Chain A
Amino acid sequence: MEFLMALMVGALVSAAVYLMLARDVLRFLFGLVLVSNAANLLIFASGGLTPEAPPLVPEGLKAPPPDVANALPQALVLTAIVIGFGLFAFALILIYRSYQTMGTLDSDRMRLAEPEGRD
């Protein structure tokens, strides 16, 4: 299970790097979304995967039995997903507005803040 997860994280990261190397900033953003999902999966897997053992405390006990799934990484991933969602929503709007104002998505032609060859 961990092995499959590791393969998936690797595949997501390589696809993301490929997309992020593009000059088109929209493709770059898609790459970023993929790599952040890879990071989420990585946190999820790092807690150890224990199928069929929900983290529930049986009646009469104060602590769950020792072999249950670790609930903390799931809480962390949930937080990271929510934060990531907000950030990417912002980034998408930013890219859309930039396209409207600058008329291009090609990062090589985005030289307004750093004009070239003026010295």
Chain B
Amino acid sequence: MTALLLPAPILIAFATAILAFLFRGGREGRWISVAGSAVMLVAGSILLVRVLAEGPQAAQMGNWPAPFGITLVADTLSAVMVVITGITALAVSVYALSDITAEMEDLGYHTLFQVLIAGVTGAFLTGDLFNLYVWFEVMLISSFGLLVMGGRRVQMDAGIKYVTLNLISTVLFLSGIGLLYGVTGTLNLADLHYAVAGADEGLVTVIACMFLVGFGVKAAVFPLFFWLPAAYHTPAFSVSAVFAGLLTKVGVYAMMRMFTLVFTQDTGFTHGLLLWVACATMVTGVLGAAAQSDFRRILSFHIVSQIGYMVLGLALLTPLALAGAVFYLVHHIIVKANLFLVAGVVKRIAGDTEIDRIGGLYRGAPVLAFLFLIPAFSLAGFPPLSGFWAKYVLVAAAMDLRMWVVAGIALAVGLMTIYSMTKIWGRAFWAPHPGAVVPRLSSLPPGDRVALLVPIAGLAALTVAIGLFPEPFLRIATRAAEELFDPTAYLTAVLGERS
């Protein structure tokens, strides 16, 4: 049963991709994509329930025993990430019913989208380092295709920066894998946990730094984030929503996994470095956003800023801080994907994403204004929305360690996030439209209105639900953090009992 449960979400996404490819000439692909995402969400949820009930689950692919074969393993963090991937995939595939043009469908949008989801899910579930590299590549190549699909000039420009910088990070990651294998002779993550203990500490720290840079580019931390604000505002809105929600978070996840399970021998150096990286990421991201005036570019810089919070949780390396980071990951994926979806509707009814060229949305489309306010305030950390609890836990963890400066930076960055959100609110929603038109939701065909607004409302409802009833979510995050902090259960699930 477990042997089937673990690969199921990946296989479902791949099967959906193949089906969508077979039907790419017609309009059935979009419904296949929606159905496939829904089934994948169900499979992920079953996995999460199982993990919560019985602890980490592992399955050896091809019946090769660990550490020789490829292991798929799900602890609480992995299972939660798979579920949130399913939620994002479902929301975006519903949104794509209206957002993606027939031309892009013919080019194979739904296939690439599902391959991307399969890659993301695989990266969350694998227990093998080289396999993680392969999933990263699956994710990367499909994201390349999605980013430049349509072939507008601005997409080409963005594509070059995105592709080249991500390829550099891939090479660094690959070299790190090679060196780590040379030092330890194993690639299984659980086995590596034991193997690095016997290796030369200095050498392992050097390798850890290669991983830090490799994953740092993927996660878009300071000073490696420049590809992100150059690229995320150019593709279709569905594409940028799923990128914003999931892609950088895979980098953060990989960092959290490697720097709690494998690279923990010199935490004073590696995690001390991460701490300052995290602070610089928070500050530069939010300052970058303040200088922008395009809806999606503001949001892109805020992704960078928010990544800093998650890395901060990892850098502090206490159970509470890790719980904060996990909670932040989940909150951020929901909120950020939602804000990009809202940006898409704004573009449709007001004609632009440059906030100086639009306006009057509050008057013309109060429902949309309300749906923007929820994720925007959640992002800034207003109680009682999900972002408040995420920031609260992280700041509390920093104060527990008496790191007043770090806690202060985290709070100040929260305040500056409000500045950007009110800038969008003031200019795009409150100020009158410079063209003296009143953008209205009723200008959209009824079918499109449903397809666009249902995912936005659903994700907003989820944000409110997490905000009002944080208790069960915090409990799951705490449990995920405890498993990261003390990986005994993970190691036992993969390798069996060890004396």
Contacts and interface: CB of A to CB of B under 8 A. Distances in A.
Nearest to A42: B178
A80 B233 CA distance: 31
Interface residues of A, number: 39
B161 A94 contact: no
A119 B179 CA distance: 46
Contacts of A20: 168
B157 A113 contact: yes
A25 B357 CA distance: 34
Q: Which of B133, B145, B153, B160 has the most CB of A within 10 A?
A: B160
B151 A101 contact: yes
Contact of A97 (B151, B178, B233, B291): B151
B181 A97 contact: no
Q: Which interface class (under 10, 10 to 19, 20 to 34, 35 or more) fits B? A: 35 or more
Contacts of A35: 168, 171
A32 B167 contact: yes
A112 B171 contact: no
B137 A113 contact: no
Interface in B215-245: 229-231, 233-234
A119 B134 contact: no
Interface in B152-185: 153-154, 156-161, 163-164, 167-168, 170-171, 174-175, 177-179, 181-182
B140 interface: yes
Given A35-B171, A87-B167, A119-B293, A97 B134 contact: no
A25 B160 contact: yes
B419 interface: no
Contacts of A111: 157
A47 interface: yes
A85 B177 CA distance: 19
A91 B182 contact: no
A64 to B, nearest CB: 14
Contacts of A38: 175
Interface residues of chain B: helix, strand, loop or mixed (majority): helix
A29 interface: yes
A119 B160 CA distance: 25
Interface in A18-64: 20, 25, 28-29, 32, 35-36, 38-40, 42-43, 45-48
A28 B164 contact: yes
B159 A94 contact: yes
B157 A102 contact: yes
Contacts of A86: 141
B229 A91 contact: no
B144 interface: yes
B481 interface: no
B28 to A, nearest CB: 27
Contact of A91 (B133, B164, B233): B164
B148 interface: yes
Interface string B429-468: 0000000000000000000000000000000000000000
A94 B181 contact: no
Chain A CB within 10 A, most for which of B130, B156, B163: B156
Contacts of B182: 45-48
A39 B178 contact: yes
Nearest to B154: A112
Contact of B163 (A73, A83, A90): A90
Nearest to B229: A114
- Of A20, A38, A79, A111, chain B has the most CB atoms within 10 Å of the CB of A79
Interface in A68-115: 72-73, 76, 79-80, 83, 86-87, 90-91, 94-95, 97-98, 101-102, 107, 110-114
Contacts of A72: 181
A113 B234 contact: yes
B158 A113 contact: yes
A18 to B, nearest CB: 15
Contacts of B171: 32, 35-36, 39
Interface of B: 130, 133-134, 137, 140-141, 144-145, 148, 151, 153-154, 156-161, 163-164, 167-168, 170-171, 174-175, 177-179, 181-182, 229-231, 233-234, 291, 293
17 contacts: A29-B164, A38-B175, A39-B175, A39-B178, A45-B182, A46-B178, A87-B137, A87-B167, A90-B145, A91-B163, A91-B167, A107-B160, A111-B157, A112-B157, A113-B161, A113-B230, A113-B234
Given A25-B164, A36-B171, 7 more contacts: A28-B164, A38-B175, A39-B175, A76-B181, A83-B134, A113-B231, A114-B229
Task: For the complex of A and B, list the 10 residue pairs with the smallest distance between their C-beta atoms, beginning with the closest.
Answer: A46-B182, A43-B178, A112-B157, A98-B156, A113-B158, A39-B175, A113-B157, A112-B154, A42-B178, A46-B178
